Chains A and B, each alone.
Chain A
């Protein structure tokens, strides 16, 4: 590839010829970054359905969900994707944290157990994907271990990464901070909740995964 690049040869047509018809794209990120809110918006905009429920309590999504054949058309480009909304990846899950949201102890313990299974499921899905939309909370520090691990995994396998810097509707959001942390990947500042910049995201999805 290095030599080919140096010689200025373009084999992108060949790549397109052998590319799979449908790309499996995972929506990943830490808990509460807005993954399901974004998945709901994408699936609703292009199919009219929804993916799953959302909540302010972390680990609301505890099972990965796949929506097949979502065709996104933008700026003359079109791409058909299988969208996989995944449970948030974490390195620790303490049931006491759920109790601070007012959940009873038993329910908190059950949620913690299901959340650990959800994280394992997310990790397993990593091996089956063709690309990732990494959702980061733009109000938070971007250097979390979860972000580092997800990016590292996809970089190691040379698969495309698109960063959605979410929650730009909040006053303390800073997509620039995310960009300076991971400048090697394309980034779109969005509000999945309000739909801000969502057309820009579709344009990037069509270009990046198409």
Chain B
């Protein structure tokens, strides 16, 4: 299992993040991203995952994150600008990571070898 820091993720492009995640997950790793992915990065990840699914080899990924939060500081509110704050995300091979329960602030998952 790898825990990837917010600093490391901030220094990567969207494509680099998605590639890193898929390569690691295909090698059987479970990743915990401190900052998570933006909605568009998540759709990119889903798209690339679909392209890599192979019968009897790779069935896809399990990805769990909390809903994104609106970053509503004073300046953003004043100018009506909203930025999204991504949150902790867990990603692993679908064959090894199973979500048992998910809530607004709690994710219960089962990891199998």
Residues of chain B lying within 8 A (CB to CB) of residue A123: 43, 46-47
Residues of chain B lying within 8 A (CB to CB) of residue A93: 50, 53, 59-60
B86 CB to closest chain A CB (Å) equals 9
- Whole-angstrom CA separation of A155 from B83 in the bound complex: 10
- Whole-angstrom CA separation of A145 from B102 in the bound complex: 9
A129 CB to closest chain B CB (Å) equals 13
B35 CB to closest chain A CB (Å) equals 14
Assess whether B55 is interfacial by the CB under 8 Å rule: yes
Chain A residues 140 to 181 lying within 8 A of chain B, measured CB to CB, are 141, 143-145, 148-149, 151-153, 155-156, 158, 181
Mark interface residues in B5-37 (1 if CB within 8 Å of A CB, else 0): 000000000000000000000000000000000
**Closest residue on chain A to residue B42 by CB atoms:** A149
A93 CB to closest chain B CB (Å) equals 6
Q: Are B60 and A153 in contact (CB under 8 A)?
A: no
Report if A94-B94 is in contact (Cβ < 8 Å); known contacts: A153-B39, A153-B40: yes
Q: Are A116 and B55 in contact (CB under 8 A)?
A: no
Assess whether A54 is interfacial by the CB under 8 Å rule: no
Residues of chain A lying within 8 A (CB to CB) of residue B43: 123, 126, 149, 153
**Closest residue on chain B to residue A145 by CB atoms:** B63
Q: Are A95 and B51 in contact (CB under 8 A)?
A: no
Q: Are B50 and A120 in contact (CB under 8 A)?
A: yes
Report if A3-B68 is in contact (Cβ < 8 Å); known contacts: A109-B55, A117-B50: no
Query: Per DSSP, are chain B's interface residues mostly helix, strand or loop, or mixed?
Result: mixed
**Closest residue on chain B to residue A146 by CB atoms:** B46
Chain A residues 104 to 143 lying within 8 A of chain B, measured CB to CB, are 109, 112, 116-117, 119-120, 123-124, 126, 141, 143
Residues of chain A lying within 8 A (CB to CB) of residue B101: 141
A86 CB to closest chain B CB (Å) equals 13
Residues of chain A lying within 8 A (CB to CB) of residue B102: 141, 143-144
Chain A residues 53 to 108 lying within 8 A of chain B, measured CB to CB, are 89-95
Residue in contact with A92 in the complex, picked from B40, B61, B77, CB distance below 8 Å:
B61
Please classify how large the interface on chain B is, using the bins under 10, 10 to 19, 20 to 34, 35 or more.
35 or more
Chain A residues 9 to 28 lying within 8 A of chain B, measured CB to CB, are none
Residues of chain A lying within 8 A (CB to CB) of residue B94: 91-92, 94
Q: Are A156 and B84 in contact (CB under 8 A)?
A: yes
A19 CB to closest chain B CB (Å) equals 19
**Closest residue on chain A to residue B77 by CB atoms:** A2
Q: Are A3 and B80 in contact (CB under 8 A)?
A: yes
- Whole-angstrom CA separation of A181 from B80 in the bound complex: 24
Residues of chain B lying within 8 A (CB to CB) of residue A156: 38-40, 68, 84
A101 CB to closest chain B CB (Å) equals 16
Known: A2-B79, A91-B62, A126-B43. 19 other contacts (CB 8 A): A3-B79, A91-B46, A91-B60, A91-B94, A92-B59, A93-B50, A93-B59, A94-B94, A116-B51, A117-B50, A123-B47, A124-B47, A141-B102, A145-B65, A152-B38, A152-B84, A155-B39, A155-B70, A181-B67
Selected A-B contacts with CB under 8 Å, 30 pairs: A1-B80, A2-B77, A2-B79, A2-B81, A91-B46, A91-B60, A92-B53, A92-B60, A93-B53, A94-B94, A112-B55, A116-B51, A116-B53, A119-B46, A119-B47, A120-B47, A120-B50, A124-B47, A143-B67, A143-B102, A145-B64, A148-B67, A148-B68, A149-B39, A149-B43, A153-B40, A155-B68, A155-B84, A156-B38, A156-B39
